[in-house]
Amino acid sequence: MTIKVRDARFPNDAWLRACQECGNVQATKSPEVYTTDKWRDVKCNKCKSEGSLDYGTPNEYVEDED
């Protein structure tokens, strides 16, 4: 097992979301942290589109070695 990061620009513990409009990747809080559905309304930092960010994924992940 190897721990890897998806994007080295962000901290290992970051939650990364990609904009479906412009493709920008940004670090946000995990949707699990929110007590309401406000995570859906986070705006893209680049194109300012609201509600176009995907659910996201943790930056750090485990890769199994064969």
Q: Where are the domains of the chain?
A: 2-63
13: pLDDT confidence band, cut at 50, 70 and 90? very high
| 65 has pLDDT over 80 | no
Q: What average pLDDT does this structure show over 31-51? A: 92
Instruction: Give the torsion through C-alpha atoms of 44, 46, 48, 51, to 10 deg.
Output: -20
64: pLDDT confidence band, cut at 50, 70 and 90? confident
pTM for the predicted model, two decimal places: 0.86
| 66 has pLDDT over 70 | no
* Predicted pLDDT of residue 6: 95
Cα 2 to the center of its chain, rounded Å: 21
Q: What average pLDDT does this structure show over 42-64? A: 93
Nearest 5 degrees, angle CA 28-CA 61-CA 42? 15
